[in-house]
Structure 1
Amino acid sequence: MTAKVSASDIRASFSGAMSAMYRDEVPAYGTLMDLVARVNDETLAGQPELKARLEATDTLERISEERHGAIRLGTAEELATMRRIFAVMGMFPVGYYDLSTAGVPVHSTAFRPVGEEALKRNPFRVFTSLLRLDLIADEALRDEAKAILAERQIFTDGAIALTEKSENEGGLDSHDAARFVSEVLETFRWHDKANVSLAMYHRLHDAHRLIADVVSFKGPHINHLTPRTLDIDKVQALMPDYDIAPKAVVEGPPTRKCPILLRQTSFKALEETVSFHDGKGGWQAGTHTARFGEIEQRGVALTPKGRALYDALLDNTRKLVRPAADGSNAVAYEAALIETFKAFPDDWAAIRSAGLGYFTYSLTEKGVAAGSASGDIESLIAEGFVRFDPIVYEDFLPVSAAGIFQSNLGDGAQQDFVASPNQKRFEADLGAAVLNEFDHYEGIEKASLEACLDALQTRAAAE
């Protein structure tokens, strides 16, 4: 029997191919990668304790390979098929995000690997949004958009066939895996010819720029790829030196000694030349703005208690100063954010003891050398037998995602939609339940704690 390629290896190949394609399509992405690599190298050189922690948790290697992408789909059928394709790569839907609360007519999930080893091998994620046509007020436009989407096929026949083969045979051999990556890549490729007339594009655009982006094209072109930096403030400050104009405000929590959740920034979306149907069998020139560059810095995953505190503090900040899309009040917003977030502990021990974040537990050198040790976890930590390390937040933040979307859709894109989370409908369209991120992180923490205690207790029993 021919050996099957692991899902993680297929995912790594696809992530690399996607990055190469996007670098060709959007040269500024390559510049961004160079900047992030420089900042990460300088950060590790200047913070040996951070480098040591990343090495101790076997996560240093993944930083340079880490990416997340984002796509926007138009139909339930597209979403369900995308779920099957990502499953071949070992990527599964985690979390439900309702962006209608922030004026963006989509709801979303993140496809990503979920096991520790899979994440270390390649932590590629794709934030995947489904257009909410039900939120379009114009009923006639809603019906026309639905008809346009019904006529397109965003997946190649080869991608569908190889997905079915993987499902039926429990994986793909090296030849088929390479073909699979090549075929699926076509779904994410940029197309400069629209599926609609310029007049229809403007009608969709007037309803919401994101609606025009989803409905008007042959496929859900990847609209950004995001590398992970260890110092997003430094990247933000250096972007102009690389002829990249950053968005005015970094989304997420403020600068901290102990990073929490997710911070993101980006550069403005490109205005690109696009051809539209002219109604006479020819083409009419126009432009479209969709693809941009984004950078992220990841911190500790928060417990429900920690997330509730984060959400409350962010909400309090925005009651004081709501960041303007044009950045005119960026300084005031950042000052308010820093002041408000003083209520969130900025020390790993304090975050852990308050039950605000998730941590993994492992034996220290002293713990490994010890014949045995007894006591509860707090005493074992205090005596130096066990260490704790923050679990990286692998997911996303709805307000931050919407902020990135809005800043790249343009200053006039902010629109109000009735907040209408509908996870049940989303999961029905997806064809599966999404994984609850809190349950997932709690399971990782619990397993690591039990492994430590079992190791020490097994030695004690053997003596």
Structure 2
Amino acid sequence: MPNARPSAADLLRQKFSRQMSVMYCQEVPDYQKAVDLVKQVNADVAADTAQSLDLEALSEERHGAIRLGKASELSMMRRLFAVLGMYPVGYYDLSVAGIPVHSTAFRPISNDAIAFCPFRIFTSLLRVELIEDADLRDKTNAILAERNVFSDKLVELLEKQEATGSLTEQEEDQFIEELVKTFKWNDQANVSADVYEDLHDAHRLIADVVSFKGPHINHLTPRTLDIDAVQDNMAKVGLNPKAVVEGPPQRAVPILLRQTAFKALEEEVFFQTTDGKLQAGAHTARFGEIEQRGAALTPKGQALYDELLNKTRAIITPKADGSNVDAYIAELHKVFQDFPDDLNELRAQGLIYCHYQHANGNTAPVDKNDAAALESLIQQGAITFSPITYEDFLPVSAAGIFQSNLGNSQNQQSLNDANQADFEKALGAPVNDLHALYATMQDQSLQSL
């Protein structure tokens, strides 16, 4: 639990998270099935392991995902999320998987803010320049130029908050209401069926971003303590799971992030026509995702993880239909035997970030610069440590989830065209370095000894 009283931004973020969950549950009934399944699995894990866990807080933890079309939308989203104490962390290039977007995660960054409400929004910006057809690029830019996804009231409240530093209670409620509406599903497209098909043929994600009036939330993700149990039981509760859990293999000490999803829903939509009427059609984009979070890796640990994952995928890549899932998981486990799976070994080798604290009533000051003395106190049990939870995302896993819900046979060749400078120009600010944030958390815990 947080040590400090929640700030106004923390309380707004919590309210926003809860209202987003209510809205998505109404829009996508299968989402409630996923939430109920996760709650049951988490309760089972707590009972089986006799752990003292805050299941109520865990049951509220979420991340969401949105896709934006143009730079001005990304810049405005940065300003809006700042009111909620959510800041851009990390740069993710999904072009490596043939997906024409790059992304960041808006999230809280301090220990207390994360502990109170760790809500995150994975936010992607369409890279129109990666559309091969020049005419379609021009048409895409023209469509996006005409749309405004933010209400006048939302912008008015944002500008007041930025100017004065606060809103009244009534204005805060209005701000959250207008912000949530920004991500609401709208089944009326702002393009014709023919234009939609052209965008869809270029890439399904392009059609999803460009064809609609706003950046509808495309998934919300509850956090589980046992993603394998969730994967095994999704079909039993009427959910259609993707073939394989993305991320590292099952381990005694979880690391980074593991994700699975239930498949995207085909939904009825209505396209514009020249005579002003609407033409019925279908669109597939919104899905459900579930995650399990583990220890945050240091650069050394991340390099080892990347090396082993690349080694695995050079041997075998999971197929969309699940036909080689057992072989892939077996190879993943085999290759990842080279990644230590003991908590103390992970710490001693500098592969994970840790939080340190006194134990057994010990309050004697510790020389933070004397590594041998610190190690001795740890071995004596006078200092304890726990892994810092990974609060961010994995490009390969994100791409795998996107592909499983966008059509796996489509445009999977790597575009290999990262451009963080261009993304940050659109954002209007640099992204925070996630390793710097975790290192600061670790250092703060050491300084408090």
State the TM-score bracket (shorter-chain normalisation). Answer: over 0.9
Counterpart of 1:455? none
| Pair 377,82 (structure 1): closer, same or farther in 2 beyond 3 Å | same
Where do 1:71-220 residues align within 5 Å?
71-220=66-215
CA contact (8 A) 1:257 1:346 kept: yes
The superposition leaves residues 191-216 of structure 1 with CA deviations (integer Å, 9 ceiling, x where unpaired) of 00001000100000000000000000
| Pair 403,130 (structure 1): closer, same or farther in 2 beyond 3 Å | same
Given the alignment, which residue of 283, 288, 291 partners 2:278? 283
Q: Which shifted more, 196-205 or 374-383?
A: 374-383
Where do 1:412-427 residues align within 5 Å?
412-427=409-424
SS at match of 2:185: coil
| Pair 330,311 (structure 1): closer, same or farther in 2 beyond 3 Å | same
SS at match of 2:103: strand
Counterpart of 2:407? 410
Measure the CA separation in 2 of the matches of 1:113 and 1:184: 18
The alpha-carbon deviation at position 222 of structure 1 amounts to: 0.1
Q: Which shifted more, 61-70 or 215-224?
A: 61-70
Where do 1:393-408 residues align within 5 Å?
393-408=390-405
Measure the CA separation in 2 of the matches of 1:415 and 1:383: 52
Is 1:240 aligned to residue 242 of structure 2? Answer: no
Counterpart of 1:428? 425
Counterpart of 1:260? 255
Measure the CA separation in 2 of the matches of 1:431 and 1:304: 27
Measure the CA separation in 1 of the matches of 2:274 and 2:215: 24
The superposition leaves residues 221-272 of structure 1 with CA deviations (integer Å, 9 ceiling, x where unpaired) of 0000000000000000011110111100000000000000000000000000
2:233 corresponds to which letter in structure 1? Answer: L
Measure the CA separation in 1 of the matches of 2:217 and 2:287: 10
Measure the CA separation in 2 of the matches of 1:120 and 1:356: 23
CA contact (8 A) 1:105 1:417 kept: no
| Pair 377,61 (structure 1): closer, same or farther in 2 beyond 3 Å | farther
SS at match of 2:357: strand
Is 1:296 aligned to residue 298 of structure 2? Answer: no
The superposition leaves residues 362-412 of structure 1 with CA deviations (integer Å, 9 ceiling, x where unpaired) of 1112424xx667772101101111000000000000000000000001232
SS at match of 2:244: coil
1:46 corresponds to which letter in structure 2? Answer: D
1:222 corresponds to which letter in structure 2? Answer: I
1:18 corresponds to which letter in structure 2? Answer: M
Counterpart of 1:42? 44
| Pair 5,367 (structure 1): closer, same or farther in 2 beyond 3 Å | closer
| Pair 354,60 (structure 1): closer, same or farther in 2 beyond 3 Å | farther
Measure the CA separation in 2 of the matches of 1:230 and 1:183: 33
The alpha-carbon deviation at position 418 of structure 1 amounts to: 2.3
Counterpart of 2:387? 390
Counterpart of 2:304? 309
Measure the CA separation in 2 of the matches of 1:358 and 1:63: 21
The alpha-carbon deviation at position 135 of structure 1 amounts to: 0.4
1:271 corresponds to which letter in structure 2? Answer: E
Measure the CA separation in 2 of the matches of 1:395 and 1:33: 21
Measure the CA separation in 2 of the matches of 1:47 and 1:161: 50
CA contact (8 A) 1:10 1:181 kept: yes
The alpha-carbon deviation at position 279 of structure 1 amounts to: 1.8
The alpha-carbon deviation at position 171 of structure 1 amounts to: 2.1
1:138 corresponds to which letter in structure 2? Answer: D
Measure the CA separation in 2 of the matches of 1:65 and 1:338: 31
Measure the CA separation in 2 of the matches of 1:429 and 1:451: 38
The superposition leaves residues 159-218 of structure 1 with CA deviations (integer Å, 9 ceiling, x where unpaired) of 111111111111222111100000011110000000100010000000000000000000
Measure the CA separation in 1 of the matches of 2:344 and 2:230: 28
Measure the CA separation in 1 of the matches of 2:155 and 2:254: 41
CA contact (8 A) 1:39 1:230 kept: yes
Q: Which shifted more, 399-408 or 416-425?
A: 416-425
Given the alignment, which residue of 21, 24, 32 partners 1:22? 24
Measure the CA separation in 2 of the matches of 1:102 and 1:356: 27
2:39 corresponds to which letter in structure 1? Answer: A
CA contact (8 A) 1:5 1:177 kept: no
- Number of aligned positions between the proteins: 440
Percent of matched pairs sharing the same residue? 57
Structure 2 residue runs of 5 or longer lacking an equivalent are 1-5
Measure the CA separation in 2 of the matches of 1:372 and 1:325: 55
1:45 corresponds to which letter in structure 2? Answer: A
| Pair 226,313 (structure 1): closer, same or farther in 2 beyond 3 Å | same
Measure the CA separation in 2 of the matches of 1:373 and 1:418: 50
1:406 corresponds to which letter in structure 2? Answer: Q
Measure the CA separation in 2 of the matches of 1:64 and 1:387: 27
CA contact (8 A) 2:366 2:374 kept: no
Q: Which shifted more, 414-423 or 258-267?
A: 414-423
Is 1:450 aligned to residue 447 of structure 2? Answer: yes
The alpha-carbon deviation at position 5 of structure 1 amounts to: 7.0
| Pair 222,373 (structure 1): closer, same or farther in 2 beyond 3 Å | closer
Measure the CA separation in 2 of the matches of 1:5 and 1:309: 38
CA contact (8 A) 2:43 2:55 kept: no
SS at match of 2:175: helix
Measure the CA separation in 2 of the matches of 1:173 and 1:46: 46
Q: Which shifted more, 59-68 or 262-271?
A: 59-68
Counterpart of 2:3? none
CA contact (8 A) 1:194 1:274 kept: yes
Q: Which shifted more, 385-394 or 409-418?
A: 409-418
Q: Which shifted more, 371-380 or 387-396?
A: 371-380
